[in-house]
Amino acid sequence: MTRMLIVGPPGSGKGTQAERISDRLGIVAISTGDIFRANVKGETALGLEAKKYMDAGDYVPDSVTNKMVRDRLSHEDVRDGFLLDGYPRTSAQVDELADILAAEGKQLDVVLQLTVEDEELVTRLLGRAKESGRSDDDENVIRHRLDLYHTQTEIVVTRYAEQGILAKVDGLGAINEVTDRIMAAIDGVIGS
């Protein structure tokens, strides 16, 4: 049973790698972005509230995000483990996730941090915007999201590093190479 997070700036390949790692380990990949988009598409109350923040490139407030994540982590498919992508993003969310897991007598095993330089991320995200038509991927919004990542989310990385469960992984290179580096990093943290 493995419970893990994958963190990194927008465009670092978290979603792609989460799917690959979940397949290799036989655990479910949970993307908060997908949870948000499903709620927005379904026009749920939480989804409509989240949409206004997403459209501006801002993070969805903790109160909304925590409710969505708590609900998702209550599903049967997470009992054997999970790989969570996009949460937690704030120190308060780190505490909330710890509380959610502690209520089940569990804790995180490993936190993977994908690292990629900002200019590479802007290039990747602009290319993705052209391909997919995602409204949250124009250059100004992208740069705003990267600034938010650096000012808010890096606090999360520091907290997990202090717990000794953080593994930094270079996110540049072929997809298979990055996946192999991630698997080695997981073994390095869990096996130690």
Active site residues: 14, 89, 128, 134, 145
Task: Tell me if 58 is assigned to a ligand binding site.
Answer: yes
H-run or E-run covering 88: none
Task: Tell me if 40 is assigned to a ligand binding site.
Answer: no
| 3-class SS of residue 29 | strand
Q: How far apart are CA 3 and CA 83, in angstroms?
A: 6
Give the angle subtended at the CA of 20 by the CAs of 125 and 41, to the nearest 5°.
55
Task: Tell me if 93 is assigned to a ligand binding site.
Answer: yes
Task: Tell me if 72 is assigned to a ligand binding site.
Answer: no
Q: How far apart are CA 42 and CA 40, in angstroms?
A: 5
Task: Tell me if 173 is assigned to a ligand binding site.
Answer: yes
Task: Tell me if 3 is assigned to a ligand binding site.
Answer: no
Task: Tell me if 118 is assigned to a ligand binding site.
Answer: no
Q: How many CB atoms lie within 10 A of CB 61?
A: 12
Task: Tell me if 134 is assigned to a ligand binding site.
Answer: yes
Task: Tell me if 149 is assigned to a ligand binding site.
Answer: no
Residue with the two structure tokens 């799917």: 19
Q: How far apart are CA 128 and CA 63, in angstroms?
A: 29
Task: Tell me if 70 is assigned to a ligand binding site.
Answer: no
Task: Tell me if 130 is assigned to a ligand binding site.
Answer: no
Long-range contacts of 147-155 (CB under 8 A, 24+ apart): 148/57, 148/58, 148/59, 149/9, 149/10, 150/9, 152/59, 152/89, 152/90, 153/7, 153/9, 153/89, 153/90, 155/90, 155/91
> Binding-site residues for AMP, please?
32, 37, 58-60, 86-89, 93, 134, 145
> Binding-site residues, please?
11-16, 32, 37, 58-60, 86-89, 93, 128, 134, 145, 173
> Binding-site residues for ATP, please?
11-16, 128, 173
